[in-house]
Amino acid sequence: MSPANALVVVGDSLLDRDLDGHVERLSPDAPVPVVEGLAQTTRPGGAALAAALAAADGWSVTLVSALAGDGSGRELAAAVAASGVHLIDIGLDGTTPEKVRVRAGGRTLLRLDRGGEPAGAGDPSGPWRARALDTARRAIGSAAGVLVSDYGRGVATEPGIREAVEAVARVVPLVWDPHPRGASPVRGATLVTPNRREAADAGVFGDVPQAASASALAHRWDARAVAVTLGADGALLAPAEGPGTRVHATPVTGGDPCGAGDRFASRTATLLAAGVPTFEAVSAAVTAASAFVEGGGAAGARVGAGGAQELAPRAVRAEGSDRAARPLPTSADAVVSRTRAHGGAVVATGGCFDLLHAGHVATLTAARALGDCLVVLVNSDASVRRLKGAERPVVPASDRAAVLEALAAVDATVVFEEDTPEAALERLCPDVWAKGGDYDVADLPEAHVMRRMGGRAVVLPFVDGCSTTRLIEEALVRGPA
């Protein structure tokens, strides 16, 4: 759970409407499908969706946006309130923008955009609006983190709002999610998150993703880093100084990409506000966006009162994974049960963890950011001896588990006797398996187990220069102090 009043989302909101029906024939007067049995659903869109998703992650969220006083605006305001987000409405002199999708069989057949005429904002001299702008500036100034979702409709460039965002960028994490019709990011942004097209429109990014081009964007925008989102190809993270890094996405089957950018931006913003390093935050956001797409995108996420997000049901786990036959330790079982009772995602990682070092801590922190609890599978002493030799482990399993459980990132541990954690995974049934290293996900034996159970595997990078074996060798060379 985040600290109170932690995240402020600034940007343009719209009302999303889905008209879902079924198609059984073509029209006799044109080669187009006839959609029947339409059922309508509405939800927050744009910056309002990003805010609702952050609230669904357990954060206290304030949304600074501009809504019109029409029926669609009132409907959008109600949807924002139902998501558990506090709205500061600075007023829109125009009509509320809507995005209407006509769908059948989970596929979009037609999209209609309406409203949002650029008639400008309300009377800047009006006392009501002046109070709203002052409230917005104070909220931005007291935020632990800020996300700007700029859809090019004027909220991010509103006089006073942009200055408040630029001032806070010097002291708290700021994520700027741009749009081709939007403004340039403020100077000093922690992370700017253009997609492939938006990066190309900036003039320095071609068809082939290049780390140097992403770094050039960071320089142009005077941002600390840029993460170019590449859809199914993950993201390209590049700081203004230093080499870029490719963050690979977990392959998904089917799904709906609508809202994936908002899922990526909101997860990145909350993690950065929580103090997670940029690479780990972007890695976790890529994973979250992939899961969001696979779960049906914005249409598969029903954001209700109190910010509780209900995603489409997870894949049914394989029959025959007999968890009851070999129960988990009570502490781990309680953590998993509690997490699932609240609709959260269970993450697992594993290893020997003999002489815990900074690389382990970085990997565990990144793994915890992938879900709502982290269970660490620890090789037993006998297992370590078979894998590492008769002189290992240096630290017995009970002590290794105790040290791990003392870390903020770790919720529980499970010591397993086998050489590999597949059997332990069968008992735990996590949603995500995170493995540190330079492996290809497809080569991990655990990945096959996770696919069979309906979960997914993720590879996290090691910290260069960190190795238990090297620490032991150096200690033997130096001898006792």
The 3-state DSSP class for residue 413 equals strand
Return the beta strands (E) in 163-234 as ranges. Answer: 174-177, 191-192, 225-229
Instruction: Name the strands in the sheet holding 33-46, side by side, starting at the edge strand that comes first in the sequence.
Output: 33-46, 13-26, 98-104, 107-114
Q: Classify residue 195 by its DSSP letter.
A: B
Phi, psi dihedrals of residue 252, rounded to the nearest 5°: -120, 155
Q: What does the alpha-carbon distance between residue 422 and residue 181 come to, in Å, rounded to a whole number?
A: 49
Q: Which long-range contacts (CB under 8 A, 24 or more apart) does 207-216 make?
A: 209/233, 209/236, 209/246, 211/236, 211/238, 211/243, 211/244, 211/245, 211/246, 212/238, 212/244, 214/238, 214/244, 215/239, 215/240, 215/241, 215/242, 215/244
Q: What does the alpha-carbon distance between residue 46 and residue 43 come to, in Å, rounded to a whole number?
A: 10
Q: What does the alpha-carbon distance between residue 252 and residue 232 come to, in Å, rounded to a whole number?
A: 8
The 3-state DSSP class for residue 471 equals helix
Residue 272 and residue 173 in contact, taking contact as beta carbons nearer than 8 Å: yes
Based on the residue annotation, tell me whether 440 is a catalytic residue of this protein. Answer: no
The 3-state DSSP class for residue 315 equals coil
Catalytic residue of the set 16, 262, 381, 431: 262
To 5 degrees, how large is the angle CA 13–CA 19–CA 25? 150
The 3-state DSSP class for residue 144 equals coil
- The Cβ of residue 124 has, within 10 Å, a number of other Cβ atoms equal to 14
What are the catalytic residues?
262
